[in-house]
Structure 1
Amino acid sequence: MIYNKNNLGDNVNKICENEDCTVFEMHNDTGDGKMILYDVFPGISLMYNDFYMEKTESKFETPENIFCIDHCREGRIQWNIKDDLFMYLKQGDLRIDDRDNHKKTFEFPIKHYHGITICFYLDKAEYSIKKALDGFPINIGSLKNKFLNKTDYFVLRSEKSIEHIFSELYSVPNDIKKQYFQIKILELLLYLSVIDISKNNEKPPYFYRSQVEKVKSIEKFITEDIEKHYTLDFLAKRFDISLTSMKNCFKAIYGNSIYSYIRVYRINQAAIMLRHTKKSIAFIAGDVGYESPSKFSVAFKDIMGKTPLEYRKSFL
């Protein structure tokens, strides 16, 4: 098993294990995480990752020659690529690396992350695949060199072919899981083997720590008092960051423009009040920064799919 209690670290607990899978959990003061691990072939594993937390410390390290593929289904993960530089894996993205620099803190800016990790222990994986499918044309060591020969990691931004392969892995009947995983991993390897990396060699944007810290301060500032409205120029000047850097960095971290983010945030706070208080809809509208109850109602329905009154009645 590539991932186990010994190399995952003392902040990860093994909850249960059977012949099909092993379940690991982690807890800290920011939330909880769960990892469900399947050994698909000897030397090849597939792991579902579900984190509802702000950050976690990875203590994973291994001397083995490995090759890992991470797919983000939903959420955001902040990756410290080196020193004070950060990048973000977003929905649909695929990242390839060798886990040489994986012992670090990872953050989840929108407090959740869901995805799949497929890991190849090269010394065993090659033999396993040849045994499973005689004549399979892909050499995993060569594939690793293709993507990581001159870089620590490689990122493929969301595209239909990748989404097709991974989307089917999130809803597999239990009685065919292992066989289905085997087929999909072979399909993924074939797909990666024909990708022209010269056409996919554009590095995703990265941001300096100073930019990230300022943008996170902006997010905290605008969500602390949601009755107030701020212009982008005001925020850029207050936090001493260029307008362009602020907009680009905010969208990379949180997945939305500042205006879209705070709009959704306000409506989600309103939904909580509709469920748990008896405040009038007009009062709640004002609490979340809407002077007009009718505009609030339109915005609420646009995001939640129901009017505030319909939403409240559904919880009665």
Structure 2
Amino acid sequence: MNNLKATQREQKIYGSLVEIMKRENDCTAYRIIDKSGEVVMTSYTVFPGIELIYNDVHMQICQVDADPPKNILEINHCREGRIECEFDNGEYLYLSKGDLSIQLKDGSCHNSYFPLSHYHGISVAIDLDEAPKCLSCILDDVSVDPIELSKKICRTDKYMVMRSKPCFEHIFSELYTIPGHIKRGYFKIKVLELLLFLSGVNLDSERLAQKYFSKYQVDRVKSIKKYLVENICQRITLDELSQKFDIPLTSMKICFKGVYGTTIYSFIRNYKMQSAAMLLKQSDKNIIEIAGMVGYDNGSKFAGAFKKVMNVTPKEYRNKIVQMEPFLTK
């Protein structure tokens, strides 16, 4: 019978809210739930001191490091969504689909911020005090020293982001679909492949390509996003937002897309249509009323915008929901 109680060490790492969903052999599934959402992390021990973790996040802010360990080299691959990377100097980077981040964790606590409240990806965590000093003993011609790798990657920065490349897709794509019966062996091969690749890559050009945003810019666009969501029924121009939140128009547009992965207009249109879809599903209000609630005083313009986002008209969407109700209530 599995022991489903979190150990003291696990609570220090993941916080007091962590639950153990599954524990068997070298696999443990953790879950953190609060009123804002849920995080599920499924961790596999690949080598001593080296873990591969599947991250399934559906919340915006999560503090999992209550008392984090030191000297951990963490490599993250983003499959879906976005994650914020905050630096000691007050600058920010954002990890998006296909990107890779590399961080040397120093034992300090921090919040993980997911701008879209949605993130799926894989982490490889290497405990530099416990991992094999050299992995060349596992396969001939695979000369990877985790400590030397960490010095190379993090010699100037504790955190860096490498933008999406076909080689990342090659390394990680199979990890999301690998059959269970060969999973353990495949993990070993893929972790070695990843570390060997990073040992040979030229990181100087990667550092030059990184796009940073200041804390002021990020705080402004987060406030803008909050304002847009809270005033969904209003029509608001970009110039009005720029003046109201005291940020230059060009900087506002670039930073908003950097944080949320889309333009301001696309973000608010999608948010309005998702909100309208919920109203069509959960209320008896007519379509014109719902259009007004999300800032449209013209029914045909609302229907056109709704179809662009949802691929069906508001009427078709509601009819589809009505047709599904008998099956949903069974």
d(CA) in 1 for partners of 2:223, 2:11: 36
What residue is the counterpart of 2:189 in the other structure? 183
1:59 aligned residue (52, 63, 66): 66
Quick check: 1:80–1:106 contact (8 Å CA) kept in 2?
no
Q: Which amino acid aligns with 1:223?
A: V
How many residues in Structure 1 have an aligned counterpart in Structure 2?
314
Quick check: 2:82–2:96 contact (8 Å CA) kept in 1?
yes
Q: Which amino acid aligns with 1:62?
A: P
Shift of 1:118: 0.3
Q: Which amino acid aligns with 1:147?
A: I
1:68 aligned residue (68, 74, 80): 74
What residue is the counterpart of 1:159 in the other structure? 165
Shift of 1:214: 2.0
- For residues 211-250 of structure 1, the aligned pairs below 5 Å read 211-250=217-256
2:300 aligned residue (276, 294, 299): 294
d(CA) in 2 for partners of 1:91, 1:81: 20
- For residues 1-316 of structure 1, the aligned pairs below 5 Å read 4-57=10-63, 58-63=65-70, 65-100=71-106, 102-126=108-132, 129-202=135-208, 204-316=210-322
Quick check: 1:155–1:203 contact (8 Å CA) kept in 2?
no
Shift of 1:127: 5.7
Quick check: 1:79–1:87 contact (8 Å CA) kept in 2?
yes
Distance 1:163 1:135, change over 3 A: closer
d(CA) in 2 for partners of 1:224, 1:160: 39
Quick check: 1:42–1:128 contact (8 Å CA) kept in 2?
no
* 3-12 or 84-93: bigger deviation: 3-12
Gaps of 5+ in 2: 1-8, 323-330
* 128-137 or 89-98: bigger deviation: 128-137
- The DSSP-based 3-state class of the residue aligned with 2:171 is helix
d(CA) in 2 for partners of 1:135, 1:311: 58
Q: Which amino acid aligns with 1:249?
A: C
d(CA) in 1 for partners of 2:264, 2:304: 20
Q: Which amino acid aligns with 1:175?
A: H
d(CA) in 2 for partners of 1:243, 1:11: 41
d(CA) in 1 for partners of 2:99, 2:66: 23
Identical columns (%)? 42
d(CA) in 2 for partners of 1:189, 1:83: 28
Q: Which amino acid aligns with 2:98?
A: G
d(CA) in 2 for partners of 1:287, 1:164: 45
Quick check: 2:101–2:161 contact (8 Å CA) kept in 1?
yes
Quick check: 2:49–2:126 contact (8 Å CA) kept in 1?
yes
d(CA) in 2 for partners of 1:153, 1:125: 20
Shift of 1:85: 2.9
d(CA) in 1 for partners of 2:108, 2:57: 17
Shift of 1:315: 1.7
Gaps of 5+ in 1: none
d(CA) in 2 for partners of 1:278, 1:135: 67
TM-score in terms of structure 2 length: 0.87
d(CA) in 1 for partners of 2:27, 2:218: 37
- The DSSP-based 3-state class of the residue aligned with 1:150 is coil
CA deviations on 1:187-206 (whole Å, 9 max, x unpaired) are 21232233222321225333
- The DSSP-based 3-state class of the residue aligned with 1:285 is helix
User: After TM superposition, what 4+ stretches of structure 1 lie above 4 angstroms from structure 2?
Assistant: none
Q: Which amino acid aligns with 2:76?
A: D
Shift of 1:131: 4.2
CA deviations on 1:10-67 (whole Å, 9 max, x unpaired) are 343333311141011223342221111011122211001122112122224224x432
Shift of 1:152: 1.2
